[in-house]
Amino acid sequence: MKAFTRLFTRLDRTTRTSLKVEALEDYFRAAPPADSAWALWVLSGARVKRSVHTGRLREWVAEAAQIPLWLLEESYDAVGDLAETLALLLPEPPKADRDPPALHQVMDDWILPLRRRSDPEKKELLQEAWDRLEPQERLVFHKLITGGFRVGVGRKLVTRALASVVGMEPAVLAHRTTGRWEPTARDFLLITSPDADLPDPGQPYPFLLANPLENGPAELPGPPECWQVEWKWDGIRGQLILRDGEVLIWSRGEELVTPTFPEVAEGARILPSGTVLDGELLAWKGEGPLPFHQLQRRLGRKRVGRKLLDEVPVTFLAYDLLEQGGEDLREKPLKERRRRLEALFSQRNLESPTKVDPPGESRAGLPLALSPLVRVESWAAAAELRGRSRELRREGLMLKDRESAYGVGRIRGPWWKWKVDPLSLDGVLIYAQRGHGRRASLFTDYTFGVWDGDDLVPVGKAYSGLSDAEIREVDRWIRGHVVDRFGPVRAVEPGLVFELAFDGIRPSSRHRSGVALRFPRMARWRRDKPPSEADTLAGVLGLLQRMERDG
């Protein structure tokens, strides 16, 4: 726990990637496999099931700190991080010779058994742990108990550091650590030994992610012929795996979602074993895709009823072939992978990329289809097509380098997303809440409203889009203009207007306005506009109607 806490502190202290990698390498070089396994597990974002109700945890810490619970909540409000608040509140540990156990012992002896204990036993166990841990170790301990372990390192960075320590290709290691493995010394040694033969058929490949194309395709190297153009679909990214007669669907969040999309899993059986497809899961009916909020009705379900299957059928639109006949194709150029993908689909009488301008919608409704290519003669023609994205319920275009390999993560170069320009409206800041992490003590989470008569009704929440200096300025303004408090939320006077960009708009019964914005973010601070000139609800509803009609 000492070494792991030191790693946490080093990672937490810096924003420099090189120092983070150095800290990770130092840790993995020295740690025993049983500890490394857990470190890799939590740092790559895997969750440990929550073993104690945080409400209980707060009560017990308040009791140990001899303060009333409301004062703990006030403190949490100021600190912004529960694990840290609890660590700061607990009394100093006894000075006796204290030897904190190793990370894997903390997990195996304290955190994992917690789940099965009764409340009084949990309390006793926690007290034992607190007595043996330094304040900073307690913070890490609380992070492990409560889940959320974010220290500004992604899976990619962890993989990179570990790969260099064990002498493996980062891509190979990334593949092996994606998906199913257990945080044990045995599994850790297996995935980090370069020539291990891994039996698990279900591992997805790490996804290649696109970068946004800010200034249009003119900035890309090479003429349009060098680029494969596709629609950017408004669904969720998925990987379809067929190995050993088993069908698995993984989401980009590396969750196994096979039971959520039974029609896709069933339809995919037509493909041979040893096939891995990258593509998009989309709600699709008749002529085209349904709005994203329809697809949302299908998400997160372990079982899907007949009615919902009829109302919101889902299609997997494949756009890449990562494995064929058990062979990893990711090093092959995209044009080769695409050729094989098309051949595979036509061989199986699946949707073939026929005429796609306007996109061939007629074959849609199949549980498995090919994401068509968009053929453009020039970037100007592509721009024109992109302009129609919103009416076709698409997010824009994807531009992929035909010669590129399928890399790992968000690397610049091979894939670009050229999204349609966002919609926008001018909203008034009405509520504010403190942020978390780096901005925990600043008011950074804002709710915006539009006018409904003399009332401001909330239409969306946004967190980002302002510079640090602007955030501080808005924070100061908020503190001077609070009119009401509801727990952590502050209602403020209508005074500041922001232009909000968003990707869509949908009806919502949870919002008093009856609508909710999709992906709202602050495009700019309209210092020039008085609140009275912000947008109205009538205007927003009009926009929604137009979109429903056009879509």
Partner 1 sequence: MSTDLIRLDPCGLYVPAADIHVDPWRPVERAVITHAHGDHARRGSRQYLTSRRGQGVLRARMGTDARIETLDWGERLRVGDAILSLHPAGHILGSAQVRIEVGGEVWVVSGDYKLTSDPTTTPFEPVGCHVFISECTFGLPVYRWPDPKEVFESILEWWEENAASQRTSVLFGYSLGKAQRLLAGIHERTGRHGAPGPILVHGAVHRLLAPYREAGIALPEVEMANRSSAEQAGGRALVVAPPSAGGTSWIRAFSPSSTAFASGWMRLRGTRRRRGGDRGFVLSDHVDWDGLLNAVEATGAQRVGLTHGNTAAAARYLREDRAIDSWALPTRFQGEAGAETDDPEADDGGDTPRTDDSSPKGGAAT
Catalytically annotated residues: 232
What is the CB-side half-sphere exposure of residue 156 using CA atoms within 13 A? 11
**From residue 478 to residue 507, what is the string marking binding to partner 1 with x (rule CB under 8 A)?**
-xx---------------------------
Interface of this chain with partner 1, residues 150 to 209, rule: CB under 8 A: none
Rule CB under 8 A: choose which of 301, 355, 438, 546 binds partner 1: 438
Is the CB of 87 or the CB of 516 nearer to partner 1?
87
Is the CB of 67 or the CB of 405 nearer to partner 1?
67
Rule CB under 8 A: choose which of 27, 52, 81, 450 binds partner 1: 81
Q: What is the DSSP letter of 95?
A: -
Cα separation, 292 vs 506, in Å, equals 9
3-state DSSP assignment of residue 369: strand
Q: What is the DSSP letter of 435?
A: -
Rule CB under 8 A: choose which of 37, 60, 84, 337 binds partner 1: 84
**Around Cβ 315, how many Cβ atoms within 10 Å?**
27
**Around Cβ 472, how many Cβ atoms within 10 Å?**
15
Q: Does the protein bind partner 1 through residue 339 (CB under 8 A)?
A: no
* Cβ contacts of 362-365, under 8 Å, gap ≥ 24: 364/284, 364/286, 364/287, 364/288, 364/315, 365/284, 365/285, 365/286, 365/313, 365/315
528: left (phi over 0), alpha (psi -120 to 50) or beta: alpha
CB of 439 to partner 1, least distance (A): 7
CA torsion sign, 529 to 533 to 534 to 540? negative
Is the CB of 138 or the CB of 176 nearer to partner 1?
138
Task: Find all residues with CB under 8 Å of 473, minimum gap 6, and list them.
Answer: none
Is the CB of 19 or the CB of 538 nearer to partner 1?
19
Helix axes 82-89, 69-79, angle to 10 degrees: 120
Is the CB of 417 or the CB of 439 nearer to partner 1?
439
Rule CB under 8 A: choose which of 166, 190, 411, 440 binds partner 1: 440
Cα separation, 547 vs 515, in Å, equals 13
Helices (H) and strands (E) in the chain, counts: 20, 20
User: How many residues touch partner 1 (CB under 8 A)?
Assistant: 30
Q: Does the protein bind partner 1 through residue 286 (CB under 8 A)?
A: no
Q: What is the DSSP letter of 91?
A: P
Rule CB under 8 A: choose which of 37, 40, 52, 89 binds partner 1: 89
- With CA atoms as reference, report the closest residue to 425 among 380, 391, 400, 459: 459
Is the CB of 75 or the CB of 294 nearer to partner 1?
75
Interface of this chain with partner 1, residues 9 to 38, rule: CB under 8 A: 12-14
Is the CB of 284 or the CB of 443 nearer to partner 1?
443
Q: Does the protein bind partner 1 through residue 515 (CB under 8 A)?
A: no
- With CA atoms as reference, report the closest residue to 87 among 117, 113, 114, 58: 58
Rule CB under 8 A: choose which of 65, 166, 209, 381 binds partner 1: 65
CB of 399 to partner 1, least distance (A): 37
Rule CB under 8 A: choose which of 63, 74, 255, 548 binds partner 1: 74
Q: Does the protein bind partner 1 through residue 472 (CB under 8 A)?
A: yes
Which CA distances in Å does 239 have to 159, 317, 377, 401? 21, 10, 31, 20
Q: Which part of the chain contacts partner 1 (CB under 8 A), choosing from 67-75, 158-166, 218-226, 532-540?
A: 67-75
Q: Which part of the chain contacts partner 1 (CB under 8 A), choosing from 98-106, 318-326, 418-426, 440-448?
A: 440-448
Interface of this chain with partner 1, residues 112 to 151, rule: CB under 8 A: 139
**From residue 246 to residue 285, what is the string marking binding to partner 1 with x (rule CB under 8 A)?**
----------------------------------------
CB of 248 to partner 1, least distance (A): 39
Which residues of the chain form contacts with partner 1 (CB under 8 A)? 12-14, 65, 67-68, 70-71, 74-75, 78-81, 84-85, 88-89, 139, 437-442, 472, 475-476, 479-480
